[in-house]
Amino acid sequence: MRRKGVNYSKYGYIFTFPFVLAFLIFSLYPILYTAFIGFTDMQGLIPKTIHILDDPFKNFKDLLFENASFRKSLLNTGLLWIVNFIPQMVLALLLTAWFTNRRLNIRGQGAFKVLLYMPNIITASTIAVLFSTLFAYPMGPVNSLFHMLGWSDAPIFFLQDKTTARGIVAFIQFWMWYGNTMIILIAGVMGINPALFESAAIDGANGFQTFFRITLPSLRTILLFTLITSMVGGLTMFDIPQLFLAGGPDDSTLTTSMFIYGQAFKGSYMYNRAAAASMMMFVIAAALSGMLFYLMRDRDAAKLKKAEKAEKMNNRKAAAQAAVKEG
């Protein structure tokens, strides 16, 4: 029996209702509540009535202008992100160029992908503690290795030096994520119209030219996406630095997430200050997402351009083929 003209639109609301409900309760309310706490005097383990401060922005001002530790955590977060992201991107692009180059025809790509991606799936906490144990002083595997290879005369106390401690944290992040970035970029290259590469080959473009003139421009959207998701991920960096050295030596690996955690949950119970710091992190993440949103909207225009380019290339290819035939 077929009923005509049934209005199904209410199911749209019903099916999305659990999502909306869970979001309102577990995301939106906590965010608003966090923002509210940021304006209050909520401190201490025992709950008591809280008041909005006379100067509502006091917590924010204190953090920005008087709290050296908070500023340092922002700086560290940015520094650790840059030092891991640039080499990560360079290596991922290099591997992408190699793996997608048909002329080179690299074998064993499947196995390489599986192995290079592997660190990404293992618990970050485990990796952090593993590395702090590998770099142990005076005798740890890395010190033994350096000694065996004759790179060092005396054991090195890696974890007490600010530069090496930061370097190792950045290296772990790099090591965990370049495989992921590489797989995404390779998928992006696979999505490029093969005719572009063919016509480039016919035009006599070498590997470098093909990579810089065709592959990179076509990957623009994916590169942006990777950049911004990596920035938001880097902003919330917690597991590795927390379990690697708990912020030391001398706060040189203290990140913003660790600052928030430390203020609220490690004995000082400064919930208001932690909330204000969270809000600043939220604003930065929101700004980054907004940027991505804006840039992704531009896509249609970019697509049009791409299509035009492809057409031009095709025309050229056709012309070249015609020329070959005539010749």
Partner 1 sequence: MDKNQRSGTANRKISKTIIYIVCIFLAVLSILPFWIMFVNATRSTPEIQNGLSLLPSTHMMSNLRVLLDKSFDPLQGFLNSFIISSSATLCTVYFSSLAAYGLVTYSWKLRSSFFTFIMCVMMIPSQASAIGFYQFMYKLHWTNSFLPLILPAIAAPAVVFFMRQYLLATLSMEIVEASRVDGSGEFSTFNRIILPLMMPAVATQAIFAFVANWNNLFMPLILLTQKEKYTMPIMVSLLRGDIYKTEFGSIYMGLALTALPLFVVYFLLSRYIIVGVALGGVKE
Q: Which of residues 55-74 bind partner 1 (CB under 8 A)?
A: none
Q: How far is the CB of 64 from partner 1 (least distance, A)?
A: 17
Number of residues that bind partner 1 (CB under 8 A): 110
Query: Is 1 a binder of partner 1 (CB under 8 A)?
Result: yes
| Cα–Cα nearest to 173, from 81, 263, 91, 86 | 81
Contact 176, 84 (CB under 8 A): no
Measured from the Cβ of residue 123, the count of other Cβ atoms closer than 10 Å reads: 11
Task: Classify each residue of 254-265 as buried b or exposed e, where b means 16 or more C-beta atoms within 10 Å of its C-beta.
Answer: bbbbbbbebbbe
Query: Is 223 a binder of partner 1 (CB under 8 A)?
Result: no
Query: Is 195 a binder of partner 1 (CB under 8 A)?
Result: no
What is the rounded distance in angstroms from the CA atom of residue 171 to the CA atom of residue 173? 5
3-state SS class at 52: strand
Query: Is 208 a binder of partner 1 (CB under 8 A)?
Result: no
What is the rounded distance in angstroms from the CA atom of residue 217 to the CA atom of residue 189? 11
Query: Is 282 a binder of partner 1 (CB under 8 A)?
Result: yes
Query: Is 242 a binder of partner 1 (CB under 8 A)?
Result: yes
Tokens at 144, concatenated: 């033994």
3-state SS class at 205: coil
Q: Which of residues 250-279 bind partner 1 (CB under 8 A)?
A: 257, 260-261, 264-265, 271, 274-275, 278-279
Q: How far is the CB of 162 from partner 1 (least distance, A)?
A: 20
Query: Is 222 a binder of partner 1 (CB under 8 A)?
Result: yes
3-state helix, strand, coil in the chain (%, to 5): 75, 0, 25
Partnered with residue 40 across adjacent β-strands are 52
Q: How far is the CB of 318 from partner 1 (least distance, A)?
A: 27
Q: How far is the CB of 38 from partner 1 (least distance, A)?
A: 8
Q: Which of residues 84-143 bind partner 1 (CB under 8 A)?
A: 95, 98, 103-104, 106, 108, 110-119, 121-127, 129-134, 136, 139, 141
Query: Is 232 a binder of partner 1 (CB under 8 A)?
Result: yes
